[in-house]
């Protein structure tokens, strides 16, 4: 009997929530949007998109909903319009109980700043999407050299994510340079040497070896003893002494 009553209560609550959501999103006939609330969920505080810019996007598209009949507002189209921005990753629009529209957006998260040999200048996000710079400034690892957008997306996105999320490497690496043959070299913030990573494949294993070498080798020999530290070979670290 108790189990039956629990099931009845749960079903009743489910019906209540469904009806509440339905009523909330089915406004009274003739009701007008009383205002728009915009929320930017920017956990990394990148500053690439702000509330006023969200409003500008919809205003330019002649879709800003304030003052419009709630029945005429297409929430899906609002979201689709916002997602056309090269700085927005996700968008959610919904109606509130007090006849307002709430807009929540998540910006893209840049992980690398690319300034290649061809003069291109842009950011690369954590999913490999190109973000135009347009005057924005972000303190990120800089990518230079012979790197196309396709190469950056395929070969550097995962590396950029790794460096940004790893506390040690995020503080240590300041530049990624791509050579003509497609190999990668890293410039550290501490230590007057270049790290020759080679191809981007197996970069986690290579950097794990390098981190061990930092703590067990360079701490004793000196961080400026070598000019080049080569990680291209399996289970090896080849060092070139400074002349």
Map residue 156 onto helix, strand or coil. Answer: helix
Burial of residue 183, with CB atoms counted within 10 A of its CB: 0-12 exposed, 13-18 middle, 19 or more buried: middle
Scanning the chain, the segments in alpha helix (DSSP H) are 2-24, 51-60, 75-82, 149-151, 157-165, 167-172, 203-213, 219-221
pLDDT for 39-64, tens place per residue?
A: 999 866 777 888 999 999 999 999 99
Name the band, by pLDDT with cuts 50, 70 and 90, for residue 22.
Answer: low
For the residues 151-175, what does the mean pLDDT come to? 96
Give residue 202's pLDDT. 92
Nearest-angstrom CA–CA distance, 237 and 231 = 5
Q: Can you tell me whether residue 210 is helix, strand or coil?
A: helix
Q: Does the pLDDT value for residue 74 go beyond 70?
A: yes
Query: Picking from 89-98, 217-226, 233-242, which range would have the lowest pLDDT averaged per residue?
Result: 217-226
Least confident of 156-160, 170-174, 239-243: 239-243
Looking at the predicted structure, is the pLDDT value of residue 194 above 90?
Answer: yes
Mean pLDDT calculated for residue range 184-213? 94
pTM for the full model?
A: 0.79
């Amino acid at each position: 009997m108790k189990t039956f009553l629990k099931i009845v209560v749960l079903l009743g609550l489910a019906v209540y929530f469904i009806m509440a959501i339905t009523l909330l999103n089915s406004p009274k006939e003739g009701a007008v949007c009383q205002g728009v609330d915009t929320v930017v969920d920017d956990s990394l505080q990148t500053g690439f998109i702000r509330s006023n810019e969200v409003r500008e996007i919809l205003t330019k598209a002649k879709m800003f909903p304030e003052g419009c009949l709630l029945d005429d507002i297409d929430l899906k189209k609002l979201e689709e319009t916002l997602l056309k921005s090269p700085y927005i990753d996700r968008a959610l629009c919904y109606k509130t109980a007090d006849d307002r529209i709430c807009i929540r957006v998540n910006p893209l998260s840049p992980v690398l700043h690319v300034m290649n040999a061809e003069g291109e200048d842009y950011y690369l996000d954590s999913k490999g999407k190109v973000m135009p710079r347009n005057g924005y400034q972000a303190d990120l690892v800089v990518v230079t050299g012979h790197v196309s957008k396709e190469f950056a997306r395929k070969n550097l996105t995962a590396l950029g994510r790794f460096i940004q999320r790893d506390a040690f490497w995020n503080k240590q690496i300041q530049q990624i340079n791509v050579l003509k043959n497609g190999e990668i070299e890293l410039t550290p913030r501490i230590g007057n040497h270049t790290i020759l990573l080679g191809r981007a494949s197996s970069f986690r294993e290579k950097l794990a070896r390098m981190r061990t070498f930092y703590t067990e080798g360079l701490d004793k020999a000196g961080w400026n003893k070598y000019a080049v530290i080569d990680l291209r070979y399996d289970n090896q670290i080849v060092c070139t002494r400074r002349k």
